[in-house]
Amino acid sequence: MTSQPTRDRTGTSPERARHLLHQMLRIRRLEEECVELYSAAKIRGFLHVYIGEEAVAAGVMAALGPEDAVVATYREHGHALLRGVSAGAILAEMYGQVQGCCRGRGGSMHLFDAATRFYGGNAIVAGGLPLAVGLALADKMAGRRRVTACFFGEGAAAEGEFHESLNLAALWQLPVLFCCENNLYAMGTALVRSQSQTDLALKAAAYEVPAWAVDGMDALAVEDAARRAVDAVRAGGGPHFLELRTYRFRAHSMFDPERYRDKAEVARWAERDPILLLRRTLEADGTLSGEDWSALRQEVDAEVAGAVRFAEAGSPEPAEDLLRFVYSEREEQ
Amino acid sequence: MKTTYREAMRAAIREALLRDERAFLMGEDVGAYGGCFAVSLGLFEEFGPGRIRDTPLSESAFVGAGIGAALGGMRPIVEIMTVNFSLLAMDQIVNNAATLLHMSGGQFNVPIVIRMTTGAGRQLGAQHSHSLEGWFAHVPGLRILAPATLEDARGMLWTALQDPDPVLIFEHGSLYNMPGELDDDAGAVGIDTAAVRRAGNDVSLITYGGTLPLVLEAADRLAADGIGAEVLDLRTLRPLDDAAIQATVAKTHRAVVVDEGWRSGSLSAEISTRITEAAFYDLDTPVGRVCSAEVPIPYARELELAALPSADRVVAAAREAMGTRG
């Protein structure tokens, strides 16, 4: 059944905690820049930012190794960044440039990177879950001890692919870590207005998948739960499921007037800003000084400024290459 | 050796699993049951449950898992019982298999083979009888095959497995029992070109898959009347072999497209249009079409037969093209 694992702080060194804070700040700063660039019409299409949910990606990514795989959603800039895709390649992709991580063919919702085993960037809700099951199937059949982490929102739990995938992963005991980012709203539809059973970990448990609900605003708790789940999956324990309870501070996309939730609710959640919470904890512990914080901020500002310069200096893919990558390019015989 | 289309297909799957340790078969009832149409009969016993994988009734999940496994370095052969059921996996095929290479800027190709039964003729009603391969042939990023002969049933799969991109193989249900002779050393065949199955100078009958036998029968009957019909088997529905289509039209100056799919918005419409675009001045007469009636395929034998292309209808269409109606 579902349970909230007790956080084990003994394993969290000050260095790891500062690392998590740094990673969350990197996402926050990049996303803030994306919003600016969108307003300046440098980025077009749909743009979904992850502000407020950073602890989820930071905690889970810290628990994965380079041999593992990640499948994410259309709100995946932060996941790509922490997986190792450079901020420059991410921004250049949103600029639609050849220097982007997908040569401008994906855009904000479709970031991919083979070098870091980052499999998107999937914009069909729940469509990434079967892919993660298959990646894990390949690992299991080949005898590789790798984990595939699959991120999706709570809205995905209403889709058939969610249920089919959990069943298949559990039936075949495949090494998948299902990471449900429960931010309470599927676009504008509240969880309670769309699902008869709102305990998402319970849905996973119904498929015999060990499932834990975790405070998704507490990066240390997320990392701790993710490490335990990843260890269990890698050890052959079959799929595991984390319900990461979080909140999206910004609108669903740049087109969302936010008629479906009130400002007071957003303000309440803002008090549990994951960056603020961890910063306070570290300051109280004496492991983060004012100078440390300033230095972190400066480092992140410089990284994002460099990424913007990289994207600004980029060039569009020539239109004569439009039809490339529809089919694989074969070497001349 | 004497064999059937079903046995040739089974031999192809068996060869794939013997030659490539990354290859495996996955689908509903492919294992213990032996395959809904008995194509995989005996393979479960030979290769075991790890490589002949029975799946739950979860078309989207197991097709998607095939795509994921292909991304992970395997060479999955995924069987969907019928094309009607493939609609439950349409998201994975169209939104993922066909797009990942392009969306990722060339980083992630998907070497998956998806096999499924298509077509009518067995009184299975409107949810097991349709010919929807034209829908898939609409989608860039997919390669669509329709083996209509024993040689192609035996040889297309291996070639498809060597393709770095997703290949869908449509097997017409009425062909499985088709008997015939196949060379003992029959093996892989090319999948890039159409094939002239019968040469003729008067009219081109262009078809594929399950309608090839009745088109060949029609050509025999036309020959008895002194009309030389050339039969072109498309074999690959995407990409179409435009050169072969244009060559036969340039030779005969008359064309009839025979397609078990519905006429509206169809593969037959596409072929007809391409002929008009590329070979208009070669034509002596408008392109004819023999397609299924625009109804959900009915159960009753007489109604089903009335809905489907037949040798009679092909003969009539060819005669009309020749200007010798009746």
* Cα B69 to Cα B74: distance, rounded to the nearest angstrom: 5
* Cα A278 to Cα A292: distance, rounded to the nearest angstrom: 14
Assess contact for A169 and A136: CB atoms under 8 A: yes
Name the pTM for this structure.
Answer: 0.96
- Identify the CATH class of B195-322: alpha beta
| Apex B99 CA angle, A96 and B64, nearest 5 | 135
Q: Where are the domains of chain B?
A: 2-181, 195-322
User: Where are the alpha helices (H) located in A48-147, listed in sequence order?
Assistant: 54-62, 77-83, 87-94, 128-142
- The percent of residues above 90 in pLDDT, for chain B, comes to 99
Residues contacting A33, CB < 8 A, separation 6+: A91, A304, A307, A308
* Cα A161 to Cα B65: distance, rounded to the nearest angstrom: 11
Q: CA of B304 to nearest chain A CA: how many angstroms apart?
A: 33
* Cα B13 to Cα A328: distance, rounded to the nearest angstrom: 24
pLDDT at B179 over 60: yes
DSSP code of B104?
A: T
- The number of angstroms, rounded, from the C-alpha of A64 to the middle of its chain's C-alpha atoms is 13
Question: How many CB contacts within 8 angstroms connect chain A with chain B?
Answer: 148
Task: Provide the token pair at B167.
Answer: 């290949």
Q: Is residue A121 reached through a cis peptide bond, with omega within 30 degrees of 0 on the bond before it?
A: yes
Asked whether this complex has an ipTM greater than 0.85, the answer is: yes
For chain B, the average pLDDT equals 97
* Cα B297 to Cα B124: distance, rounded to the nearest angstrom: 8
- For tokens 């094939």, the residue is B195
Inter-chain touch B100–A120, beta carbons under 8 Å:
yes
pLDDT at B326: 47
C-alpha Rg value of chain B to the nearest Å: 20
Q: CA of B36 to nearest chain A CA: how many angstroms apart?
A: 21
* Cα A166 to Cα A209: distance, rounded to the nearest angstrom: 8
The model's pLDDT over B58-86, given as tens digits with 9 standing for 90+, comes to: 999 999 999 999 999 999 999 999 999 99
| Cβ neighbour number for residue B16 with a 10 Å cutoff | 20
Architecture of domain A9-313: 3-Layer(aba) Sandwich (3.40)
Cβ contacts of A329 on chain B, cutoff 8 Å: 106
Inter-chain touch A127–B96, beta carbons under 8 Å:
yes
What letters, b where the CB count within 10 A reaches 16 and e where it falls short, cover B235-249?
bbbbebbeebbbbbb
* Cα B52 to Cα B26: distance, rounded to the nearest angstrom: 6
Q: Smallest Cβ distance to B108: which of A114, A127, A164?
A: A114
Nearest CA in chain A to B111: A328
In total, chain A counts a number of residues equal to 333
Q: For the residues B86-101, what does the mean pLDDT come to?
A: 98
Cβ contacts of A108 on chain B, cutoff 8 Å: none
- For tokens 């996941």, the residue is A79
Helix (H, G, I), strand (E, B) or coil at B180: strand
DSSP string, A264-316: HHHHHHHTT-HHHHHHHHHHHHT---HHHHHHHHHHHHHHHHHHHHHHHT--B
Is A140 buried (19+), middle (13-18) or exposed (0-12) by CB count in 10 A?
Answer: buried
First CA to last CA across chain B, in angstroms?
42
Residue-wise pLDDT tens for chain A (333 aa)? Answer: 455 555 555 557 889 999 999 999 999 999 999 999 999 999 999 999 999 999 999 999 999 999 999 999 999 999 999 999 999 999 999 999 999 999 999 999 999 999 999 999 999 999 999 999 999 999 999 999 999 999 999 999 999 999 999 999 999 999 999 999 999 999 999 999 999 999 999 999 999 999 999 999 999 999 999 999 999 999 999 999 999 999 999 999 888 889 999 999 999 999 999 999 999 999 999 999 999 999 999 999 999 999 999 999 999 989 999 999 999 998 654
pLDDT at A255: 84
Inter-chain touch B72–A328, beta carbons under 8 Å:
no
* Cα A189 to Cα A195: distance, rounded to the nearest angstrom: 10
Q: In which element (H, E) is residue A210 found? A: none
Residues contacting A193, CB < 8 A, separation 6+: none
Q: For the residues B249-254, what does the mean pLDDT come to?
A: 98
What letters, b where the CB count within 10 A reaches 16 and e where it falls short, cover B252-287?
bbbbbbbbbbbbeebbbbbbbebbeeebeebbeeeb
Q: For the residues B143-147, what does the mean pLDDT come to?
A: 98
pLDDT at A254: 84
Q: Smallest Cβ distance to B96: which of A103, A131, A324?
A: A131
Architecture of domain B2-181: 3-Layer(aba) Sandwich (3.40)
C-alpha Rg value of chain A to the nearest Å: 20
pLDDT at A1: 42
Inter-chain touch A164–B61, beta carbons under 8 Å:
yes
Task: Provide the token pair at A235.
Answer: 């050890």
Note if B128 is an active site residue: yes
Task: Provide the token pair at B151.
Answer: 């040689």
Backbone angles phi, psi at A117, to 5 degrees: 55, 50
Q: Where are the domains of chain A?
A: 9-313
Bridge-based pairing state of the strands B23-27 and A240-245: unpaired
* Cα B99 to Cα B94: distance, rounded to the nearest angstrom: 7
